[in-house]
Amino acid sequence: MAYRNLLVSDRGAVRTITANRPDKLNALNRETLNELTLAFGQAAQDDAVRCVVLTGAGDKAFVAGADIAEMNGYTPLQGQAFSATGQQLMSRIERLGKPVIARIPGYALGGGMELAMACHLRIASEKARFGQPEINLGLIPGFGGTQRLLRLAGRGAALELCLLGKQINAERAQELGIVTQVVAPEGLDEAVQAVADQLAASAPCAAAGILDAVLQGGETGIDQGLSYETQGFALCFATEDMREGTTAFLERRNPEFKGR
Ligand code: CO8
């Protein structure tokens, strides 16, 4: 499928989706949000895709936020619809059932930081900058930022970043638990590729079970969360991959997971 604002490519079982508006620092307009929703829907349905990398074109930005020029003319109802579309996209990514890595070369601001936080792992260049600057525009985060930042980094960091609207560097973002790994700009692709390859080679049922237990189970009480874990654990016993993983351990060899 051809997109106007995205690039999509496959390398083995790793699909890379790139927001491709570099002249606007990959800002999310309505069309880009809709295309991302379609692209993630396709990635979810394609069994050959085991891991998704989400990034932005160029080395200056991951995504510098929602498109401010487009939002400037919105009515409240359009703002509500835009927020709902964005939140649906973020939930679709978070609940994809396959690991999603955000590759962050530069700015991840506002809706861009929210997009990165909807991914499961975040690998950033030392040059990356993070922030929720919506308050400087008379806005609040509208793509789930208040909730995901709270869960990732706690109430203190969520209030500090959202109320002060300031930017933080990648090192600080890592200290706060927002970023998984920080690397030199020239090492970003190699680092992302290594993690993506590892995830793509893992057992999909196990990866899906972990995502489900942590993300869905984690939003419930401890008993229900543990029940999510038990269900996911039990389901693995129905897979060839679980037999392969345990047999490979006993035979002292590396497992070869087939996604069955
Ligand atoms: N929207 C639209 N255009 C943008 C955006 C954006 N968020 N960010 C950058 N651009 C454009 C600039 O307008 C400029 O375009 P042009 O060349 O046509 O003038 C181009 O990208 C390059 O940007 P700059 O010249 O500003 O580059 P600098 O290196 O000088 O600065 C910054 C880089 C610091 C990243 C700066 O561009 C900036 O501050 N951008 C805005 C960051 C921001 O405030 N993001 C939050 C937006 S609000 C949001 O995301 C809310 C999400 C929830 C929405 C809920 C819906 C209701």
pTM: predicted TM-score of the whole model, two decimal places: 0.97
Give residue 2's pLDDT. 87
- What the chain holds in terms of domains, given with CATH numbers, is 6-200 (3.90.226.10), 203-250 (1.10.12)
239 lines ligand 1 (CB under 6 A): no
- From the list 31, 70, 94, 114, the catalytic residue is 114
Longest dimension (CA), the chain: 64
HSE-up of residue 156 (Cα within 13 Å, Cβ side): 2
Distance 139 CA to ligand 1 centre (A): 14
79 lines ligand 1 (CB under 6 A): yes
Give residue 154's pLDDT. 97
143 lines ligand 1 (CB under 6 A): yes
Q: What is the pLDDT along the chain (260 residues), one digit of tens a residue?
A: 789 999 999 999 999 999 999 999 999 999 999 999 999 999 999 999 999 999 999 999 999 999 999 999 999 999 999 999 999 999 999 999 999 999 999 999 999 999 999 999 999 999 999 999 999 999 999 999 999 999 999 999 999 999 999 999 999 999 999 999 999 999 999 999 999 999 999 999 999 999 999 999 999 999 999 999 999 999 999 999 999 999 999 999 999 999 99
Q: Which atom of ligand 1 is nearest to the CA of 61?
A: 35
Q: Which atom of ligand 1 is nearest to the CA of 79?
A: 57
For the chain, the C-alpha Rg in angstroms (whole number) is 19
Alpha helices in the chain (DSSP H): 30-45, 68-72, 76-94, 111-118, 145-164, 170-175, 188-200, 204-211, 222-236, 240-250
Q: Which atom of ligand 1 is nearest to the CA of 143?
A: 53
